[in-house]
Amino acid sequence: MTKFQITILGCGSATPTTLHNPSSQLVNVNEKLFMIDCGEGTQLQLRKFKTRIGSLHSIFISHLHGDHVFGLPGLLASLSLLGRTSDLNIYAHKEMDLFLNPFIKYFGNPFSYKINLIPLDPHNHQLIFENNSIRVFSFPLKHRIPTNGFLFEEKERPRHIKREMIDFYNIPIRQIKEIKSGADFLTDDGKIINNEVLTTSPTPPRKYAYCSDTAYSPEIISYIQQIDVLYHEATFAETESVRAQETFHSTARQAAEIAKAANVKKLVIGHFSSRYNELSALLNEATAVFPETELAYEGMIINL
């Protein structure tokens, strides 16, 4: 089974604290590294957790608040100093031009590599990236400015061919790929062997979704149904629900309600307000609704 691993680099909100870094994550799919958000200090976190920074494939920015992008200029400069030559795609809202272009013009010319800014649609669900292993979708969240969540979805794998069937029917090696893709097998005497006899169902595709920042938004449930792991912001406890509503953030309980309604397998909550030095109240609040909840922390590794 290929690697599908998430590393939490930062799970705090607004300002860095001694407990938490601002938002950033790495998604490793088959040894390709995809970064989600790039808060202040992200490149230091990359080194702290011994990440192969040169293997960074693409960057996905959920929205243009500082705690999600202030680490980006420094990271881009470091990649150039390290001699990167391959293009870097940054998926972000079109206003990213206003943030990055002055920096690139003043500090970055000439960079050793090309940066491609690919605009996100803040209003619609869309496929934004695809390769042989995965698809990445973006979908709208509910925040003060245009904000998107991301779904990383493994492509469906081939069916499993039964080894004993290969031997029993003397299936040529050249036909195994077709059978694993769903084809029946025709024996030398003209008998058709149905694919269901020869194979078993493939392992279900693994799926991971990232939802930060967002107010409580049942509209996203259809995009994240039955996924393996959901990362959902839980900036506040229910005692601060008015503040959550005013700032378009979620409480831990609301994050759990979304996970429960979407029938996900596991919920990881993060984007914690700096007012919380101790997070057990947030965890208790969420697990009361959705028991399969964990607190995010810097250096947390999630294997799907």
Give the domains, in start order, of the chain with CATH numbers.
Answer: 4-157+203-303 (3.60.15.10), 160-200 (no CATH)
Closest CA to 67 of 93, 90, 37, 102: 37
Digitized pLDDT (tens) for each residue of the chain, 304 residues in all? 789 999 999 999 988 888 999 999 999 999 999 999 999 999 999 999 998 888 899 999 999 999 999 999 999 999 999 999 999 999 999 999 999 999 888 887 778 999 999 999 999 999 999 999 999 999 999 999 999 999 999 998 878 888 887 787 788 888 888 878 888 878 888 788 888 877 888 888 999 999 999 999 999 999 999 999 999 999 999 999 999 999 999 999 999 999 999 999 999 999 999 999 999 999 999 999 999 999 999 999 999 9
Beta-sheet strands, E only, within 174-300: 185-186, 192-193, 199-200, 207-211, 229-233, 266-270, 293-295
Beta-sheet strands, E only, within 131-233: 134-140, 148-154, 160-161, 185-186, 192-193, 199-200, 207-211, 229-233
Which pLDDT value is given to residue 125? 97
Q: Is cis: bond before 213, omega within 30 of 0? A: yes
Rounded to 5 degrees, φ, ψ at 294 are -130, 155
Model pTM? 0.90
Which pLDDT value is given to residue 117? 96
Quote the tokens at residue 5: 């691993």
Closest CA to 9 of 92, 210, 18, 22: 22
What residues act catalytically?
A: 67
Which pLDDT value is given to residue 219? 97
Which pLDDT value is given to residue 184? 83
Residue 69, classed as helix, strand or coil, is helix
